[in-house]
Structure 1
Amino acid sequence: MEKTKDKNALQVTVEGAIITAFAMALNYLPHTTGISAVEFSYGLVPLIIFAFRRGIVPATLSGLTWGILDLILRGIGDGSVLNPLQGFLEYFIAFALVGLAGTGYTKIQSDLRSNKSIMLSAILFGSLGIVSKYFIHFIAGGYYWGSYAPKGMNPWVYSLVVNGGSAIANIILVIVVLLLLSRSMKTLIIPKN
């Protein structure tokens, strides 16, 4: 029994490391929409699928690891860190919160095993993870990035437009990918023992 538990924990850890690396690699693809600072974050897709596969704790840890990698490999060098608290919020907390998509783990696993459609649940729980991430970016945007708002525009409105736009763009991206992968969902989400 103990060996099976250890083997499963190792498998989840390896899967999490692969998902984190994949999410980070996807961050290097061009991802701006042409609208000021509204961005796609392609790494959200594999992280959300991983959340449905393994649950909230492994997905949160993978999101946190992805955020730390993004901070080190891109954030600091790109000038996206204004101070330690802002960096902590936008890289540690925001990325980790994507793991909240894993709150739908039990329902999605159960529905897949019963051959029920998971699309509505996947969209709702995936959106929860995305909205949670961009809510933190919204707070940081209004508080720390307000001086970058166009002249005469309220910094909180500007942050809402930019981060709300990014959240909507990423929700649409996740919905489209989930629809494209709908026939493969059972294979992707239910782990083989």
Structure 2
Amino acid sequence: MIISISIISVILLGLYALEMKKTKLTTKVMITISVMVAIAYVLYMIKFISYPQGGGITLFSTLPIMMVALIYGRGPGLTAGLIFGVLKLLNGGVIMHPIQFILDYILAQMALGLAGSFGNDKKSKIILGCLFAGIMGTIVSTISGYVFFGMYAPPGMNPLLYSIVYNFSSAGVESVLTAILMALIPMEKFIKVAKLGHN
């Protein structure tokens, strides 16, 4: 299973590289990414609920990354997620295996960059995109949890069920809360203002 996951991970990272070849990162976009990632990291350190092995519910730390994706598109969004994932290691990250690192700290965070998958011109599309991005990231973490953290499941509990409960009650819940908050934020105005003068 680890070999299969490794191959899929390499393919996904390769697709990211192809995406970045056609993505123009201007100085303005790079500065925005840096600022939003910094905000995301600060919010990540504020946890409402802390789980063992690094999980929990934070103060909407995924929101800034999703905003980058909604404003500037998939490439910048994926890049912001990638940087955010690496930074999360600074706050007591848990690494059990190189592939687990890629799943939990790279791919799961890069998935947040998919928030603009359904467009950004309507509130319903924005909410759907945020839910999609959050769920995709949660699924990646669930796979990692099943493969690499199954030994922490309570006696008699299926490791896959344990990982599903662990991740969807933390990252999954935060994704839903983030989508609800996004519904209250005038993203259309943010997008319009952010793109003024964008080269």
**Deviation at 1:33?**
6.9
The alignment's TM-score, normalised by the length of structure 1, stands at: 0.80
Aligned residue runs from structure 1 range 1-193, under 5 A: 9-32=26-49, 38-40=56-58, 42-71=60-89, 73-76=90-93, 80-104=94-118, 107-108=119-120, 111=121, 118-181=122-185, 184-190=186-192, 191-193=195-197
Q: Summarize the Cα distance change of 1:34–1:98 in structure 2 as closer, same or farther, 3 Å threshold.
A: closer
Give the letter aligned to residue 68 of structure 1: V
| Structure 1 contact 40–170 (Cα < 8 Å) conserved | yes
| Structure 1 contact 75–81 (Cα < 8 Å) conserved | no
Q: Which structure 1 segments of 5+ residues have no match?
A: 1-6, 112-117
Q: Distance in 2 between matches of 1:140 and 1:33?
A: 18
Q: Secondary structure at the match of 1:150?
A: coil
Q: Distance in 2 between matches of 1:132 and 1:8?
A: 25
**Deviation at 1:35?**
11
The alignment's TM-score, normalised by the length of structure 2, stands at: 0.78
**Deviation at 1:178?**
1.6
Give the letter aligned to residue 190 of structure 2: L
Percent identity among equivalent residues? 28
Q: Summarize the Cα distance change of 1:8–1:64 in structure 2 as closer, same or farther, 3 Å threshold.
A: closer
Q: Secondary structure at the match of 2:57?
A: coil
Number of corresponding residues? 171
Give the letter aligned to residue 187 of structure 2: M
Q: Which structure 2 segments of 5+ residues have no match?
A: 1-23
**Deviation at 1:138?**
0.3
Q: Secondary structure at the match of 1:166?
A: helix
Structure 1 or 2, whichever has the larger Rg, is 1
**Deviation at 1:34?**
8.0
Give the letter aligned to residue 188 of structure 1: F
